[in-house]
Structure 1
């Protein structure tokens, strides 16, 4: 059996001295020798401290800064497990910024991720914090609890655990009824390259938000926006990596026969077709994928090589995608000639 003796009691004013964290849990204060009674006395009206949230104490009398509120919300949500004193503004020494099973989400998270259309942190009355569904916590003060069956891996932003953009966006949208605001958030998520449309739709689907008309309208605009951006990246990739120019946005038909499908790019001499896979995980995903698969199989039976590229791969690894296309173009010399098809502009 091990025994960790308590630290030598320290006067409250020394705990809140220069270079020390300005927000602490009552458990952390006890580890510094400040009893619950002493902490309560410091937090009385007119005292030098204040209780910002249950079990979380602000070690100065003035209003909290945005950073202090963020730390306080995380401390409140993680207080049952967190034991180390997190690094905070003004603190010195090797502190550990660890908040187990808690992360900032919603509008505050989007602001931390650098969104320009979200409110500044000081104007937010509440800060959303994501926790596991079975945690026994309630929303109170400036902390609003958002529950999830499975926590995503947090991203570190300014030393704080923050939900990934797509998840934070879904949590923000869940509390918004203004269609203009929802559309603006989704548009910035895609235009600002914070995330791809498919990941946004996936999170909205899991949150069961696509049954709201204003959210569904915004998703349709988001997917259209995402396709335009992906097409622009595709044009730039072809130019940047010296690929031969294809014919863009065409339909294929057999001579005097049926329609074969539309393509984003086609190299007639090499019989190589390219299609941007902009599917999103919605209810009709299986049917849409079946349509993609049927078209691909039909074209390949005619000797046409089909290359599928996702917007995310275009964004994250364009050189690799250019290599895939170049390889398909070079391999055409070793294949049997493709069937003759009619190429029509879309």
Structure 2
């Protein structure tokens, strides 16, 4: 067959059931099910031919450069685990024109761009597209596909029809390849400021990836945690105001008269002896020691008759009404408790 020879009819299965991109990018295995032999594929992909192989076993069914969408699907086709012969696609996949990719998802900068990050580059500017696969898969990085391995795949999110790693994991994989401190800081800041995820989730992934030993990453994390605490404090102020809670005293230290320091609190209602503490711990190597310090402080205050309500930034973001109800209940219940010990309240 020469390049002017019509492509053999795609039988026994026509391509009507495929999405538009899957009429432009297909694996050699998929082409074989449509009656196109490996020899035919090689003929079509020769120099000057109408097709081209853009990754091992992945064929672009037109000349010229691939689009961003075609690049993403090509990388996923290369990395996804092939279904065994005779095993159908997931129910409804073909009818919904939704390709199924098993044991593969996009991560890194390309995934962040799909998640809507403006500080990550446009897809066409991403030279290497990171794809996350199980650790034991026998694959190698090649062409535009960079293989990232993991012992446990996270649950992917579907974005524009492709499986994408959750933001914290995608961030960690992107940061692992970046040496520009400014770029790392911009990505981490946008993750929190843009409401994509909480700082603790980001730090957990960075820690798991053993990236917290890199000075430029540590500096960016410190800024991230400061940014996250400022956002959480603002949400706490708005919760009190918008849900009709009485005004507390903000950001105070408690001491026993003439005695030791009891600890700092984000909000305190002296008449009801109710305190709110934002739990903005980040999971680092010293997390157990920090949690023990939190627990000791809480136990000490509660022995003195002070009710301590712990609130995480995630709860403030996702269930603020419920958190307001918890605080309101604690304030209302104060009349049924024995009076708290007298403590000195100082600005923090």
CA–CA separation in structure 2 for the residues paired with 1:114 and 1:60: 29
Q: Aligned residue for 1:166?
A: 168
What is the TM-score normalised by the length of structure 2?
0.92
Q: Aligned residue for 1:4?
A: none
Mapped contact 1:263–1:275 kept (Cα < 8 A) = yes
Alignment of 1:180-219 (within 5 A): 180-219=182-221
Alignment of 1:92-171 (within 5 A): 94-171=96-173
Mapped contact 2:10–2:34 kept (Cα < 8 A) = no
Mapped contact 1:84–1:98 kept (Cα < 8 A) = no
Q: Aligned residue for 1:54?
A: 56
Q: Which of 245, 249, 252 pairs up with 2:247?
A: 245
Where 2:138 maps in the other structure, the secondary structure is coil
Q: Which of 304, 325, 334 pairs up with 2:336?
A: 334
Where 1:33 maps in the other structure, the secondary structure is coil
CA–CA separation in structure 2 for the residues paired with 1:254 and 1:18: 69
CA–CA separation in structure 2 for the residues paired with 1:134 and 1:15: 33
Deviations 1:267-293 (A, max 9, x none): 011000110000011011111111111
CA–CA separation in structure 2 for the residues paired with 1:140 and 1:152: 23
**Unmatched 5+ stretches in structure 1:** 1-8, 87-91
Deviations 1:56-110 (A, max 9, x none): 0011112100000000000000153388789xxxxx9543321000000000000
**Unmatched 5+ stretches in structure 2:** 1-7
Q: Aligned residue for 2:3?
A: none
Deviation at 1:201, TM superposition (A): 0.5
CA–CA separation in structure 1 for the residues paired with 2:198 and 2:274: 26
CA–CA separation in structure 2 for the residues paired with 1:72 and 1:157: 16
Q: Aligned residue for 2:345?
A: 343
Distance 1:84 1:141, change over 3 A: farther
Where 1:245 maps in the other structure, the secondary structure is coil
Q: Which 10-residue stretch deviates more, 146-155 or 16-25?
A: 16-25
Q: Which of 33, 36, 39 pairs up with 1:34?
A: 36
Where 1:114 maps in the other structure, the secondary structure is coil
Where 2:265 maps in the other structure, the secondary structure is strand
